[in-house]
Amino acid sequence: MHSTQTRLRHGALAASAAVLALLAAGCSKASAGAQAGGCRADVHWPEREQTAWLRTAVTFRDTADGDNASYEKASVVIGAQPTGDVRPLCRPLAVQVEFWTLTATAAGSEMSFVMRYQLSTDGSRTRTVGFPVGLPTVRDVTCTRVLVAAYPGPPLTDGEQPRTTRDPAATGDTGVRFGTERIGAYRLLPARGPAQCDADRSTPSPSPTGTTGWNIYHP
C-alpha cells in the first residue's frame, strides 16, 4: 500500500513539473514575442542599415537660406521613422551632428570645423540640435557657406572629412562630397551674398569650437 501511494505521489509531482515547464516555455515565447513587437531589433545592424535608418529620420528646419538674417532658429531634428517599420530601436543609436564653415579664397575653399554634438536616439521621441552661435549672417559680406551633417557611429576620421568645391553659390550634392558612405543626411547652405564675395579676403575669425556629448535624455 505504501509503495502504491509513493508511486502515485511521484506521478503527480512529475505531471505538475511538466505543466510548469510548458507554462514557463509559453511565457518565455510570449515575452520574446512582446519584445520583438515593442521595438525594432538593431543590435546587429551593419553600418549601412544604421545610416539608412538615420537618413529617413533627419529633418533640417528653419535653415535661413537667402535673405534671412541668421541661423538662430535653425535646427537639425531627428525623429521617428515616417513610414515602414516605425517602432523605436531596441538599442539607441549613437549619432553625431557636425557643423563646418566653408570660405572661398583665392586658393579654393577653406573649411573650418565649428561644432560637433553627440547624442543617442531610438526614434521614440524627437531630438533637436540647434545651430551653434557664431555662424555667418547676412551682415557678413563673405563667401562663407555652412555645412551640417548627421551620421551614426564615432566622429569622422581624417579620410572621411568632407571635400568641397570653391563655387560659393554651390549647394547640396553639387558642392560637397564625403570620404564615407555613413553620412545619413547633410545640407550645404549657400553663402549670404555670393555676388559680393571677395576671394582674396582672409578667412574670418573662427567660430567657437568644441564637442558636446549628450545622453539619450537630452531634449
Does 63 share its domain with 159? yes
Q: Which domain holds residue 100?
A: 47-213
Our count of domains for the chain comes to 2
Does 57 share its domain with 136? yes
pLDDT higher than threshold 90 for residue 209: no
Does 89 share its domain with 134? yes
pLDDT band at 139 (very low <50, low <70, confident <90, very high): low
pLDDT higher than threshold 60 for residue 9: no
CATH number at residue 98: 2.60.40
Strand-pairing partners, residue 145, are 102
pLDDT tens digit sequence for 75-120: 999 999 888 899 999 999 999 999 999 887 777 778 899 999 999 9
DSSP for 154-189, written as a single string: SPPPGGGSEEE-S-TT--GGGTEEES-S---EEEEE
pLDDT at 202: 46
Highest mean pLDDT among 23-32, 97-106, 124-133: 124-133
Residue 131 burial (CB < 10 Å; 0-12/13-18/19+)? buried
Does 73 share its domain with 179? yes
Whether 152 and 93 have beta carbons less than 8 Å apart is answered as: yes
For residue 219, being part of any structural domain is answered with no
Q: Phi/psi of residue 49, each to 5°? A: -75, -35
Task: Provide CB contacts within 8 A for 126, sequence distance 6+.
Answer: 77, 78, 79, 80
Does 129 share its domain with 189? yes
Does 166 share its domain with 68? yes
Highest mean pLDDT among 184-188, 209-213, 215-219: 184-188
How many other C-beta atoms can be found within 10 angstroms of the C-beta atom of residue 172?
Answer: 11
The whole-model pTM stands at: 0.71
For residue 4, being part of any structural domain is answered with yes
For residue 115, being part of any structural domain is answered with yes
210 versus 165: which is more confidently predicted? 165
